Amino acid sequence: MPEPIIKRRFELKSDRSYKFWSVEIKNGTLTINHGRIGNRGQIREKLFSTEEEAKVHLDKEVRKKIKAGYREVIHQPPKLKSNAQLWEELEPHEPFLQAILEAPDGIENFMVYADWLMEQNDPRGQFILSCLAAEDPQTPMREQTKHFKLSSEIQIANWRDWIGELSPFFEKHGYLISYHRGLVASLQLESLGPSLASALKNSPHCRMLRGLQIASTQLNTTTINLDGIQYEADKNYGLQPLFEADFGNLRSFKFSSRQTNANQPHYSFPRRRQTGIPVFEFIRQMPRLESLSLDTLFDESDYRFLFDSELPNLSELELKDRFSNQPIEALCRSNWMEQLRSLKLYCELDVEICELLADSLDPNLMDQIVVFRNRIPEEGLNTIEKTGVTVATI
């Protein structure tokens, strides 16, 4: 029977030091992590012949740390707030958040909200003020650095408490969360499964999002019931659990329909779309969308409906991988070509499509087109360049 894993953590807090030192023994390997509290620290490992040798070495190291002033910290897993608790906690904040959503690009409502939070002794108040000061070009460089450091420290100390049941997902590699003026602003998800999708859909932070990037959708490994819906094992539900989520403030959406299996490290590409719902229906929930990036693994009819959608703020479009001519043709004939300023086509483009694309371009509106050099014939590239639009090849 294997020995239980030994984990211990020590911290040194003083006017001059704010450091941690943690150690773990597993299968005869001693792993030490040390650094400034709040950072990930530096990791080093040492392998011993037996578990007992590792424990003897650990005892020596612990005595040194205690002599240097470190004190052991008994770790207690934090109790995560549920989405229901977060909604209840944020109820008094609602007038301020609604005002921000109505005018999300101005700073006045952020300032009002921050002042109110400061009166409540809520660390989010100082977080917002520091974020605003750090982005203000009128703030001296030294002060910007000071505010950026302070905002980072506040975020590190409080982010789990702020997002509740979403936080375990963002402990993993490939899952990132960022803030804009002190509020949750964008999420980068390595893989989306029903559990994460349900937690995000029901989170009060979903409506505040400005950016969402989903690298793949995940094969569900167990049968689960979420929001009254049963998700069966061995099925990929894609975007379905996120349908009807509030993405009214979203400005940037990047989605790939790659499929992953939690038990398999590789990616695969399904033969049919894995969104669970038509992609155009999902994107129509994003009225403020400015930038859209999609791969090609959807039904082509979805793209025809998508390009007919009303997205008045959309100015940047990226279409990746193995596109056929039909969706590109639908794009060229759509009203989107009258509003796009940047178009990235990482797909095969034949001469006929290049001619149709050239006819639909307005050089006074389109800033640039980006294409793969080895996926477009020289004649087609010349046709597009003659329109006067800047063409970048990669």
CA angle 380, 385, 390 (to 5 degrees): 130
Domain coverage including residue 116: 94-156
Q: Is residue 131 part of a domain?
A: yes
**Residue 14: is it exposed, middle or buried by C-beta count within 10 angstroms (0-12/13-18/19+)?**
exposed
Confidence of residue 267 (pLDDT cuts 50, 70, 90): very low
CA distance readout (Å), 343 to 102, 164, 225, 280: 29, 38, 40, 18
99 & 15 share domain = no
Poorest-pLDDT segment among 12-26, 185-199, 215-229, 300-314: 215-229
What pTM did the predictor assign?
0.76
Q: Is residue 80 part of a domain?
A: no
CA distance 88 to 36: 34
168 & 266 share domain = yes
Q: Is residue 36 part of a domain?
A: yes
- Report how many domains make up the chain: 3
Q: Is residue 120 part of a domain?
A: yes
34 & 132 share domain = no
Does position 13 have pLDDT exceeding 90, yes or no?
A: no
> Residue 103 carries which DSSP code?
S
Q: Could you tell me the CATH number of the domain that includes residue 207?
A: 3.80.10.10
244 & 307 share domain = yes
135 & 171 share domain = no
124 & 257 share domain = no
304 & 347 share domain = yes
Q: Given 103, 132, 156, which residue is the final one in a domain?
A: 156
Q: How many CB atoms lie within 10 A of CB 184?
A: 21
Give the chain's mean pLDDT. 86
> Residue 300 carries which DSSP code?
H
150 & 193 share domain = no
Give the tens place of pLDDT for each residue, 67-83: 999 999 876 666 789 99
Give the tens place of pLDDT for each residue, 18-36: 899 999 888 888 899 998 8
112 & 170 share domain = no
Q: Is residue 279 part of a domain?
A: yes
CA distance 183 to 173: 22
CA angle 139, 143, 149 (to 5 degrees): 125
pLDDT at residue 223, rounded to an integer:
78
60 & 115 share domain = no
